[in-house]
Amino acid sequence: MNAAADASAQRVASGASSAEQSAAAPCIRVVGLHKRFGDQEVLKGISFDVHRGTVLSMIGASGSGKSTLLRCINRLETPSAGDILIEGESVCLRNGKPRSMADVNRIRRDLGMVFQQFNLWPHLTVLQNIMEAPRSVRGLSRAEARAVAQECLDRVHLGDKADAYPARLSGGQQQRVAIARALAMRPKVMLFDEATSSLDPELTEEVLAVMRDLAREGTTMIVVTHEMAFAREVSDHVMFLHNGLVDEQGPPADLFSAPRSERLRQFLTRAKA
Ligand SMILES: Nc1ncnc2c1ncn2[C@@H]1O[C@H](COP(=O)(O)OP(=O)(O)O)[C@@H](O)[C@H]1O
Ligand SMILES: [Mg+2]
């Protein structure tokens, strides 16, 4: 069995059966998504589903719209047209009217976001950084937040760094703390936007290892990445974006071994170089 099939078999074993998964509403459904900035249309009609416990990777050249797509999902941007549903609930509209800011904030709590920049508070310890949102947003007590934070820190293999300040950690360790911070909100989905792009190769691997664990444990994930070997290994589905459209998509084995689109072929050749 290849690594991807092995990972998906483990997910099925640890969670719902594939029949149950396909019967359930998709965790995320994107329908006819458009986004324009002024007269530039950056997303030109994108639709896809992400089912619970699966990993979608998005690849594509710089400027193809990957970050904008993630930012629409967590409503850091407002789509120009189309809709995004999280477990059946629109992040855009309610009874035909735009969502209130309060609604947007509530929906956003269920999405764990990991960016290229870690943005940890320098004046807080690692544990305090992770406790912050569960305390202030979820309203957990200090003891509850501490327990959740420590558990999430253990998951990224940094249990012994709870009392360290971010500046004392490597970039890879800081990004793992940022992942723990997102996990501490118990998100329905984890969104990663080039989480390893600012890291040296040797630090990249430790972050990918954590992401690989999350995938294996059945975390629903959308991953924007330049790490093609990683995308191939962990993804259930891969989308190649080009100029704001899905140029090609499918299972990783098909996309990476037998790309149909000439543009994807060229992109993969460049990515290997
Ligand atoms: N806030 C913004 N205002 C104007 N243009 C933007 C904004 N955000 C992104 N863009 C433009 O949208 C296009 C896609 O950007 P982006 O989604 O960041 O692509 P990717 O993440 O694939 O590199 C780019 O041409 C970029 O300049
Ligand atoms: Mg980007």
Q: What is the pLDDT along the chain (273 residues), one digit of tens a residue?
A: 344 444 444 444 444 444 444 457 899 999 999 999 999 999 999 999 999 999 999 999 999 999 999 999 999 999 999 999 999 999 998 988 999 999 999 999 999 999 999 999 999 999 999 999 999 999 999 999 999 999 999 999 999 999 999 999 999 999 999 999 999 999 999 999 999 999 999 899 999 999 999 999 999 999 999 999 999 999 999 999 999 999 999 999 999 999 999 999 999 999 976
From the alpha carbon of 38, which atom of ligand 1 is closest? 4
**66 alpha carbon to ligand 1 midpoint, in Å?**
8
Distance of CA 89 to the CA centre of its chain: 19
**70 alpha carbon to ligand 2 midpoint, in Å?**
9
DSSP H helices in the chain:
3-14, 18-23, 66-73, 101-108, 126-136, 142-155, 171-183, 201-216, 228-234, 252-257, 262-272
Q: What share of the chain is helix, strand, coil (3-state, %, to 5)?
A: 45, 25, 35
**112 alpha carbon to ligand 1 midpoint, in Å?**
21
> Three-state SS for 55?
strand
Total length of the chain: 273
Is the pTM value of this prediction over 0.85?
yes
**23 alpha carbon to ligand 2 midpoint, in Å?**
33
**Residues, CB within 5 angstroms of ligand 2 (ion):** 67
**64 alpha carbon to ligand 2 midpoint, in Å?**
8
- Residue-averaged pLDDT of the chain: 92
For the beta carbon of residue 81, count every other beta carbon within 10 angstroms.
14
With the most atoms of ligand 1 within 8 angstroms of its CB, the residue from 33, 35, 37 to mutate is 37
Q: Which pLDDT value is given to residue 232?
A: 97
From the alpha carbon of 69, which atom of ligand 1 is closest? 17
Q: Which pLDDT value is given to residue 20?
A: 47
Q: Which pLDDT value is given to residue 273?
A: 67
Q: Which pLDDT value is given to residue 272?
A: 79
Q: Which pLDDT value is given to residue 203?
A: 95
Take atom 16 of ligand 1 and give the residue whose Cα is closest: 65
Any atom of ligand 1 within 6 Å of the Cβ of 196: no
Any atom of ligand 1 within 6 Å of the Cβ of 37: yes
Instruction: Decide: 246 and 18 in contact? Cβ < 8 Å.
Output: no
